[in-house]
Structure 1
């Protein structure tokens, strides 16, 4: 297991910088009053390809040697990593083959194809995803860029928190906590990597759907517990932790909080209404957990990473 270092994150930021946005940090006095704390939203829904995952994907793709890149890249993903890797591969001019669940949002599938990626569909379970992917990789010979259990990807995701800390200078002070969604744990791992080096006093809290709470149960049990095919509105958070992301979770995460699907949808709708920000359900989980656990966050300065905005507008969860 290769654990990415702080220097890897710094190198990733320089490598990916031409291909990513420095996304804004936004606030809402209404939401602050409702939550009883000050929330600073790092808006990765405004990122290239509509999600934070373009950070890790760009670092991985542009870190390949010409020999490593000759057969392109391949991966499996429920959506945002697939379209982010397709985006990065397109910028480098190499093929990208992705395995996606047949139930993945059509908006994400369309984005993959729009960036030049080739999709092979699988059943909506971890076992089917990995089985079909093994066939695709054998056929294409592409360099495997895992959606989260990859040191290159984690180093890239860590650049988001680096920017957030720098941008907090415009808001008059430091953070007490950073809350981000957790599925496989790529963003949380990158957040832990950066904050443990730059701001070790800042608590990292992971937010997870109740209906896909394997990370929460793993955290409480002290070892990885993996669900194969959980069902939740937060489609980007259905995958289990792996050894590399578990390393960061067990060593650096302060707590994992959960929210129900109705609470997630309510938080998503609230941000759409009050801040005019399009976020996908997975991105609403942190705010849902804050509103559910106000005593934990009372009076604190809280960074929240809005991880993506790739929503299927024909299937909004409150319709």
Structure 2
């Protein structure tokens, strides 16, 4: 189980290797939301997403003699690139299983980082069995995308940064909106804020139709999604919250939020227009909630974590067209 000491240890391992991403604002976004909106631009992180944190935390903690045999991960793209980057920097092999419908930008980006990419069909292939066979055959260490204590600890380093930045901006009370798939980032940030900025509360954000975390929080027990594909928010489409992450979410987070794909596309466009940052759909869900769910929020400030910026050109053009 991850805790604040694991998060602080992960930050020490990460120091000097990844970026301290900025906290941005724009009066036009405040006007739309009806409150102050701050954007934690993790889309500017190394590899284009927060997943670089969890990847580095996990890879750097493996015993050197074990790490030398290589690592394996399952991902639609951002975790893939995070693990591939950490593996490359540590000089070890990486094998990444990616769904065939993952954005081309993410597949290409993972290969460019030196990883061996194995594609699978989300609906027909048994990803876990494929990964287990490869791991056993080659002696690879599996790094899970969210239900892994070291990965959660790495994601929690974002929360430590955010606590410091909120203090620099004079913010002691706010809702922190976090794009949520399996809950690795949300739970890590919640643990960090509990220790360092208890006036900041995490709210999970998901696309409509794939809001398993929101429904699980409302029910008090894990609920699954009916579908595993079919959303533009590929980065946060997961079957259900993690067994490790959900107890943390249930203890520390407020009610979950869900937004439509149209709202996500508009949020992407508004981030470009007013902040000049590129956010992918799964990374813009939090900003969409801040802008278009004002009645569900409390207080004068909302902090949205823009979790990634790895988006195909055609989809981004579709988002920008909403400005016309």
The reply to whether TM is greater than 0.5 is yes
Instruction: Give the deviation of 1:49 after TM superposition.
Output: 0.7
Counterparts of 1:203 and 1:150 in 2: how far apart (Å)? 22
SS at match of 1:42: strand
Which residue is 1:119 aligned to? 117
Counterparts of 2:254 and 2:242 in 1: how far apart (Å)? 18
**C-alpha contact 1:108 1:310 (8 A) present in aligned 2:** yes
Which residue is 2:77 aligned to? 79
Counterparts of 2:122 and 2:281 in 1: how far apart (Å)? 18
**C-alpha contact 1:36 1:297 (8 A) present in aligned 2:** no
**C-alpha contact 2:190 2:201 (8 A) present in aligned 1:** no
Instruction: Give the deviation of 1:59 after TM superposition.
Output: 0.9
Counterparts of 1:69 and 1:51 in 2: how far apart (Å)? 23
Which residue is 2:7 aligned to? 9
**C-alpha contact 1:37 1:297 (8 A) present in aligned 2:** no
The answer as to 2:146 corresponding to 1:143 is no
**C-alpha contact 2:212 2:223 (8 A) present in aligned 1:** yes
Which residue is 2:312 aligned to? 312
Residue deviations 1:230-256, cap 9 Å, x none? 421101111121100111111111110
Counterparts of 2:229 and 2:173 in 1: how far apart (Å)? 33
Instruction: Give the deviation of 1:226 after TM superposition.
Output: 2.0
* Uncovered stretches (5+) of structure 2, i.e. residues with no partner: none
Which residue is 2:43 aligned to? 45
Counterparts of 1:177 and 1:109 in 2: how far apart (Å)? 33
Which residue is 2:152 aligned to? 154
Counterparts of 2:176 and 2:110 in 1: how far apart (Å)? 30
SS at match of 1:39: strand
Matches within 5 A, 1:276-295: 276-295=276-295
Instruction: Give the deviation of 1:283 after TM superposition.
Output: 1.2
Residue deviations 1:292-317, cap 9 Å, x none? 32123365222211101111113334
Counterparts of 1:210 and 1:127 in 2: how far apart (Å)? 25
Instruction: Give the deviation of 1:103 after TM superposition.
Output: 0.4
Counterparts of 1:292 and 1:113 in 2: how far apart (Å)? 36
Which residue is 2:236 aligned to? 237
Residue deviations 1:106-164, cap 9 Å, x none? 11111111111111111124973323222222222211110110000000101111111
* Uncovered stretches (5+) of structure 1, i.e. residues with no partner: none
Counterparts of 2:297 and 2:124 in 1: how far apart (Å)? 34
Which residue is 1:303 aligned to? 303
**C-alpha contact 1:212 1:231 (8 A) present in aligned 2:** no
**C-alpha contact 2:172 2:199 (8 A) present in aligned 1:** no
Counterparts of 1:157 and 1:191 in 2: how far apart (Å)? 7
Residue deviations 1:252-297, cap 9 Å, x none? 1111010011111111111112211100001111121223321233
**C-alpha contact 1:204 1:255 (8 A) present in aligned 2:** no
**C-alpha contact 2:218 2:255 (8 A) present in aligned 1:** no
**C-alpha contact 2:39 2:287 (8 A) present in aligned 1:** no
Matches within 5 A, 1:1-319: 3-125=1-123, 128-227=126-225, 229-239=228-238, 240-297=240-297, 299-316=299-316, 317-318=318-319
**C-alpha contact 1:9 1:158 (8 A) present in aligned 2:** yes
Q: TM-score, normalised by structure 2?
A: 0.93
The count of corresponding residues between Structure 1 and Structure 2 is: 317
Q: TM-score, normalised by structure 1?
A: 0.95
